[in-house]
Amino acid sequence: MRTAPVPGDRDRLSRRRLRRVVLGSGLVATVAGLDTAVRGVRSFAGVRAPGEPAVESETRFYGAVYLALGISTVSLSRRADRDPAGVRALAGTIFLAGLARAGAWRTAGAPHPLQRALLAVELVGPPALVAWQASLRGTPDTDPASSA
């Protein structure tokens, strides 16, 4: 017979899930950043040809910055459940990037549907991540076997 989960078990599970979500986000950013640093604008959905030199240069630079954000996010994932400042900094960065993407939509027109989906994630995900992290109980899970 299955018993109801103990409140502490639910909290440990939520902490593990938060760390995994942050890890997954970091891995996606790492791969996407590396792809953009290597392929330039051809890494964008619907683009098959290289862009003009100034655009390629800037795009690949930003790809490397995105790669660095991904690596930092992977590093944060190990402590995301107990590092509110780190989670807020990550969330703020992604939210600001989403606002920049929204500004591009406003000035240049609707982007590719994939980029619209990313915009939704960038504007909804960060506040949800901060709220999730803030909802965790004060005592973190100290069992090393349960991390990440």
pLDDT in tens, 51-110: 999 999 999 999 999 999 999 999 999 999 999 999 999 999 999 999 999 999 999 999
Q: Give the type of residue at 107.
A: T
| Structure confidence by residue, pLDDT tens digits, 11-60 | 899 999 999 999 999 999 999 999 999 999 999 988 899 999 999 999 99
Residues 6+ apart with CB under 8 A from 111: 101, 104, 105, 119
CA distance 122 to 29: 12
CA distance 43 to 5: 45
Q: Give the type of residue at 11.
A: D
